């Protein structure tokens, strides 16, 4: 028998993960430049992955405490291992993208006038 409090937290974390996943998708669709798309997609999906991981770990701990099954402990271990791999991959991908994407240079328009009017 599962704890109702744990079930509520699991569902809240999963709903928030879906929300952040949708936010990352919408950010990919609506933002105009690659840097803002990259920032939104990487950050929002990483938050989504963290929330899914948290819900699975909570489910595993709750199942292990409730039933005492070793499968739940292995679920927690494998989930944390996968989360570590995804975190390292996200760090490498974001660094590679930051190096490959050129930084836009904003130059003021040359109108031939001085910045401050003379009195």
pTM of the model: 0.74
User: 23-27, 81-85, 101-105, 112-116 — which one is most confidently predicted on average?
Assistant: 81-85
- 77 pLDDT above the threshold of 90: yes
Does residue 2 sit in helix, strand or coil? coil
Task: Delimit the domains of the chain by residue range.
Answer: 4-100
3-state secondary structure of 33: coil
Nearby residues of 94 by Cβ (< 8 Å), 6 or more positions away: 38, 42
Q: What is the pLDDT of residue 113?
A: 57
The residue with tokens 């402990």 is 73
**CA distances for 12 relative to 9, 16, 55, 92, angstroms:** 5, 6, 9, 30
Report the distance separating Cα 34 and Cα 99, nearest Å. 12
The top-scoring range by mean pLDDT among 34-38, 44-48, 77-81, 115-119 is 77-81
Q: Are the C-beta atoms of residues 61 and 76 closer than 8 Å to each other?
A: yes
Angle at alpha carbon of residue 112, lines to 117 and 107, rounded to 5°: 105
């Amino acid at each position: 028998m599962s704890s109702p409090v744990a079930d509520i937290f699991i569902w809240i974390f999963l709903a928030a993960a879906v929300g952040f996943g949708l936010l990352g998708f919408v950010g990919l669709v609506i933002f105009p430049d690659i840097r803002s798309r990259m920032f939104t997609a990487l950050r929002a999906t990483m938050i989504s992955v963290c929330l899914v991981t948290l819900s699975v770990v909570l489910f595993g701990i709750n199942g292990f405490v409730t039933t005492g099954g070793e499968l739940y402990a292995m679920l927690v271990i494998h989930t944390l291992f996968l989360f570590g791999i995804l975190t390292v991959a996200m760090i490498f991908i974001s660094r590679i993208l930051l190096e490959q994407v050129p930084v836009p240079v904003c130059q003021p328009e040359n109108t031939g006038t001085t910045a401050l009017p003379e009195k």
